[in-house]
Amino acid sequence: MQQSTFSSKTNVCEGQTIRIIAEEPEIPGIISQLGKTEMWYVPDASKDAKLIYGLGKNCTEEEVRTAIEQGTLMNYLQQVPVKKDDLFFIKAGTIHAIGAGVLVAEIQESSNLTYRLYDYDRVGKDGKKRELHVDKALEVANLSSSAEPRQSLRVLKYRKGVASELLTRCKYFEVYRMLVNTERRQTVHYHADEVAFRVLLCVNGCGTISFEGGNITFYKGDCIFVPADSEVLSIHGQVQFLDVRG
């Protein structure tokens, strides 16, 4: 059976652990899974919300270790302002974290591999600090300064009842934003081709999807799996999807 090339989820944070996702291919003695490239789409964000995207300047392993021990790592990290509808592509090896007040729809390479670099000295329910993976994280981290991510120009393409735009494309997945706005009995037709399944992640609005034998109602936050070579589905409602393809 062929492994899926991506997975999807949503996150809303009060301050996420600062993490590292490893590169591919496998690194002997370090990891035994695939790396994890990610795309973050921001359906909503509070005023002055930020995320961490790489380092603000070039660092050595020794400098990062010392900063973690002294609790000064935040001084070395690049904090990027975030607003609704922003898009970020997180390459494997990038130090990153979602800041407080940010709702993120996360599409990622199919992997559970994450190294926890720093956790703000927080403690769990057991009263102990959560385990860090500093040695492994620094083996795979990009310690060069990261260019501040810029929002690229996106072009919506319209047809009756729906508009769509390409958000990102890489070797693991491609993601489109799809805006459906139907009235009364009007519907939008959708199907997955025979190459791979698709996922529709509802990031705003609600509606119904009809198919032979029934229909389902969906709401913000729902994730709809569309099998490869699917029948033609009929979508009705006012909704914004992330249309994710492997």
The set of catalytic residues is 116
Beta-bridge mates of residue 12: 103
Sole residue written with tokens 């199919």: 110
Nearest 10 degrees: Cα torsion 74, 79, 84, 89: -110
Strand order from edge to edge, sheet including 18-20? 77-81, 50-55, 96-98, 18-20, 115-118
- Per DSSP, the residues of 157-184 read EEETTEEEEEEEE-SS-EEEEEEEE--T
* Residue 93, CA distances (Å) to 8, 110, 113, 234 in order: 19, 15, 11, 40
What are the tokens at 181?
């706005």
Residues 89, 116, 27: CA angle, nearest 5 degrees: 75
Q: Sign of torsion, CA 90 96 102 105?
A: positive
Residue of 119, 159, 135 lying closest to 13 (CA atoms): 119
